[in-house]
Chains A and B, each alone.
Chain A
Amino acid sequence: MGSTLILKVRICLKSARFFCTRELKPNLRGQQTVRGVSDQADGRGGGLRNRDIFQVREDGGGRKHSVRKLPSFPKSVFAAGTAKRTTEMLKRKTSRLSVAEEEPEPRASKKEGKLQPPDRPLSPAEWRKLKESLGNSPHFDNQMMLSLFNSGSELDVAKSLLSFVAVETGTLSYMLLLHYLCLCVRGGHSDEVFDVYKIMRGSFPSLETGASSLFIKSFSQTARWKEALSILHERKKVFTPSARNYGDVITAAVQNGDTTTAWALYDELIEKGLTPHQDTWEALFAGTKKTNEEEVMREEDQQERLQGILLHMRNNQIYPQHSVAKQIKTWFESLKGQNWTGAWTTPTPKGVCRCCGSELESIHLSAEEYRNLKDRVMADVIQGRDVFNKTTPEELERFKAFVKRKPAFDVVVDGLNVANIGRDKRMLSEMLLAVVLELECQGLNVLVLGRKHMLTPSRSWSKHNMSLIQQKAHCFFTDNMSEDDPFLLYATLHSGNHSRFVSRDLMRDHKACMPDGATRRLFFKWQRGHQMVMFGNITEGRRVRFKSIPSYDTIIQTAGDSWHIPYDDTEDRSTYEVPQRWLCISKKKQPLN
């Protein structure tokens, strides 16, 4: 049993490394540095490779560990891409278990072979023949235009189709022209777009959103970008234009040197509560190539506004993409007489920038933020619209009295979540006991939250284990009908800023209970700093390990003479994860090393 387990873990590691070589590299580097630190600390931890970690178990649990946390191999759960990698790993595991049980069927695409667009322009007679051969469908023209679009045909073919339809029916429908317009815009035929614009304006009372978006996009790329602006203004009469529309016009304005218009539109965009696209920021940071005399005068102004964008990103916890980050770097470095230098970096686990050596902002909340969060969690998560939804008033009072009676907890354990971490349903109480013992071993004051059904002895919940847990830790059991997560949050928040909680649950549903974005971000910050998640399998005789908790906040930050900007360099970041790579921009001259 033991050997197979090791084998399995090895396979997992191997395959994981195979799949994400790029991801693992910075990771391993991190491990090495930490190893260096622990080397000095106890002079024994060196050479602790992955293989050795798993051999520790074979030596038996009797061996004493002076290192509290093993090398930071396990990253935080909130590191970018973790969720996606875990899913892939699980998928591979299940597929290995059910070997070739289900072959992925070659999905026959529905439209394949239905309409074959011609490869050259046809004359009306030929089109008519083709139409008749395909059953003379009334939707022939639209279907053909779509298939031309999908197969990326030449514009001339589409033109000949339009001519055929125009000759045959005497007019062209709006839909057909719209599809043709899509084809033109994708191919970048701006002259053709102008013609279509004239025709559509002439033939129809107004343009709907799809066509006007396409025109805005296309006009913005040409010298007639001012017309895109007027289309945008026209569109505002009915509904708010999208952030993409604004972005196109802003980009055009910036590139044509009209920064005043660009900033006015940007302000309008923010005012309407839209989130600008990353391309828009990129364009704004890239700035104009033309140099007017006016522009030089407003250099200061421009600088302030661009830094305002960075602060906006900070306040809304937005992370720029890699391309935007690059543009930000070039912009900073292009500022004359200010001597900025930018570098790509990652911080140490202690929260120190490896590049400039300055300390990043702490993940810990300030006293006021903390109080604010505590009140909001109580009001929105636990009580919500109806106390009875998650608990009952009596139980809530009972719990409040319980928390008040006990000393502040160092760590609160989500009993059921922790117990269910293993796959074996008979081992539930063992799992929980192992975690509680580990925490107690560290000299922490532990609270275990559970439901009342855990106290009835059964195969999963052995009486002996439960009584041991109750000896080692404070316990509170909620009604079977109540949720336990809100209590977990309450107890942790109530025990002070140092208190942490153990759960694998990402608490996204509770985060969603918060009414506004600011509180949600605050909650997320607190969660990143206070949630402990177990790492790896829990087996007898092996220490329970937890994933590392970062000590710094991942957010854009400035200290006057330096900026630290976390950015996305991977596509697979989920919304509840934070990027791992940073852009460090500092004013001081870098010491050569």
Chain B
Amino acid sequence: MLRIFTSRCCNFLLKSTSQKDITSCLSLNRLYRPSIPVYHLCTRNSVESDVIKDEGEKSKETEAIDLDKWKSVMTSQAAFPVQRLGDEEEPDPDGRSSLDATRELVSMWRQAGKLVPREMTEDEVQTLAGFTTKSSRKKYLKYLAIRENYKLARKEKQQQKKAEKEAFFNKKRELDGDEDDQHKPKNALILQFWDRSLDKLLNWRAANAMVFGQPLVFDMSYDSSMTPRELENTVSQLLKVEAFNRRAIDPFHLHFCNLQPDGPYMKELLKQYGAETWERLLITSTERQHVDLFPREQLVYLTADSPNVLRAFDNSKVYIIGSLVDRSLQSGLSLANAKRLKLATARLPLDEFLNWDIGTKNLTLDQMVRIMLAIKDTGKWKEALEFVPKRKYEGFYQHHTHTKNKFTFRNTIKMLLQKSIHSWFNVRIFAL
């Protein structure tokens, strides 16, 4: 046992260079030869620890553990000479060094485990340095970090998909053994349904709607009350609006009103769509106001702050939706606009149908257009309000569904009529 220990100590002595290590090893030796006075060799620290932890088997054990080992490890690999802080007080006339310092700070935050991005562009650092409050910096860095994470995740996924594809083709090539085969058109009975064919169909419907469809107006006059990020969100929601509308059975004729040619909305739309796609889009965009395009009595402004409830969808009306994302809830903004133009206003019957739980009663633009499309097609709020996010409410009120299913005289007539039409069609088909 003693031999093992002494050999261990020798190893330690060989390895260690700092004085502290030696002292700790010496104190280790002392366990077995307590008569040797080593105190004069010890630094202050180990004397203290010796005095305190001299009794008990356990404390002796702990003494054996080199508590300050990490310090020697870290000092031995110190990459940056410790400068006296007072010396490096050179004045930096240009802002460059302060930006570099900002960048360095962000990288240190990353090391400290904060949610900050790995890389930042020059502009982003500049924006960051421009913020005055701590919370705004924090929020901005968090936003950048999350965005970066999304980007990286997407890239990784793409790469993975690419690799899988490659592997699949390689395998197939091996199996088939014939390289030219895959480029030949397939021999099939039915014409292949290309993506382009679907696009054609949908565009045909959208073009139809532009001639005969019911208009739906998006009011683009809120650029001054949104932050650049909110505006970005608005436009990306508008992209979805157009997509959902195009895919609908009976699309609206979308109007983007008040769209200033050089305004922020336009810039963002062009950025997200690309100039070419924007030109080919089957919607009406105009810089004129909705009140100039349509008769006033037809217009209804949809706003969450309206006192009136939209009970039934009217096919002869032109509904207006404000293209606005307000993360900081600017209540009454669109209502003020409607009041100024003396337009009729309405809100969706959310309270009447849904057992509202948490969340505000404003909806995103794409949810809004899906609700409008559904109510136009079905006339039933229950189906339309399915598009309200589920997290916001607990469920539909039951009594409304009861009244809907009631056999009223009118409903019965309607059903009978529909049935007769169906049978009439059937008869015709059979006759043919």
Q: Which residues of A contact B (CB under 8 A)?
A: 120-124, 142, 156, 159-160, 162-163, 165-167, 170-175, 178, 195, 198-199, 201-211, 227, 230-231, 233-234, 237-240, 242, 386, 388-390, 392, 480-481
State the majority secondary structure of interface residues on B: helix
What CA separation (Å) do A167 and B76 show in the bound complex?
A: 13
What CA separation (Å) do A481 and B337 show in the bound complex?
A: 13
Residue B357 CB within 8 A of the other chain? no
A170-B73, A481-B335 as given contacts; A204 in contact with B85, CB under 8 Å: no
A167-B73, A202-B80, A392-B339 as given contacts; A159 in contact with B67, CB under 8 Å: yes
**B104 — which chain A residues lie within 8 A by C-beta?**
205-206
Report yes or no: A230 in contact with B86, Cβ–Cβ below 8 A.
yes
A123-B65, A175-B112, A242-B134 as given contacts; A206 in contact with B74, CB under 8 Å: no
What CA separation (Å) do A122 and B307 show in the bound complex?
A: 69
* Residue from B108, B134, B337 having most chain A Cβ neighbours under 10 A: B108
Report yes or no: A171 in contact with B77, Cβ–Cβ below 8 A.
yes
Residue B423 CB within 8 A of the other chain? no
**A-facing mask of B54-92, CB < 8 A → 1, else 0?**
000010011011111111011101111111011001001
Report yes or no: B111 in contact with A174, Cβ–Cβ below 8 A.
yes
What CA separation (Å) do A230 and B89 show in the bound complex?
A: 10
**A210 — which chain B residues lie within 8 A by C-beta?**
112
Partner of B74, one of A203, A208, A389, A480: A203
**B66 — which chain A residues lie within 8 A by C-beta?**
163
Smallest distance from the beta carbon of A187 to chain B beta carbons, Å?
Answer: 15
Partner of A198, one of B75, B98, B307: B75
Smallest distance from the beta carbon of A62 to chain B beta carbons, Å?
Answer: 44
A122-B65, A156-B62 as given contacts; A203 in contact with B108, CB under 8 Å: no
Smallest distance from the beta carbon of B120 to chain A beta carbons, Å?
Answer: 14
* Residue from A167, A204, A227 having most chain B Cβ neighbours under 10 A: A204
A142-B113, A231-B85 as given contacts; A202 in contact with B335, CB under 8 Å: no
Smallest distance from the beta carbon of A184 to chain B beta carbons, Å?
Answer: 13
Residue B336 CB within 8 A of the other chain? yes
Partner of A120, one of B62, B82, B86: B62
Report yes or no: A160 in contact with B67, Cβ–Cβ below 8 A.
yes
**B337 — which chain A residues lie within 8 A by C-beta?**
388
Report yes or no: B82 in contact with A202, Cβ–Cβ below 8 A.
yes
Partner of B80, one of A121, A203, A240: A203
Residue B109 CB within 8 A of the other chain? yes
Q: Which residue of A lies closest to B97 (CB)?
A: A237
Residue B115 CB within 8 A of the other chain? no
A163-B66, A163-B69, A211-B112 as given contacts; A481 in contact with B75, CB under 8 Å: no
Smallest distance from the beta carbon of B85 to chain A beta carbons, Å?
Answer: 4
Smallest distance from the beta carbon of B257 to chain A beta carbons, Å?
Answer: 18
Report yes or no: A166 in contact with B73, Cβ–Cβ below 8 A.
yes
Q: Which residue of B lies closest to A202 (CB)?
A: B78
Report yes or no: A201 in contact with B105, Cβ–Cβ below 8 A.
no
5 nearest CB pairs, A to B = A202-B78, A388-B336, A208-B108, A166-B70, A174-B111
Can you list 19 A-B contacts (CB < 8 A)?
A120-B62, A122-B65, A123-B61, A123-B64, A123-B65, A142-B113, A166-B70, A171-B74, A172-B70, A175-B111, A199-B78, A202-B75, A203-B79, A209-B105, A211-B112, A233-B85, A239-B134, A386-B336, A481-B335
Report yes or no: B78 in contact with A178, Cβ–Cβ below 8 A.
no
Partner of A171, one of B65, B73, B114, B137: B73
Residue B340 CB within 8 A of the other chain? yes
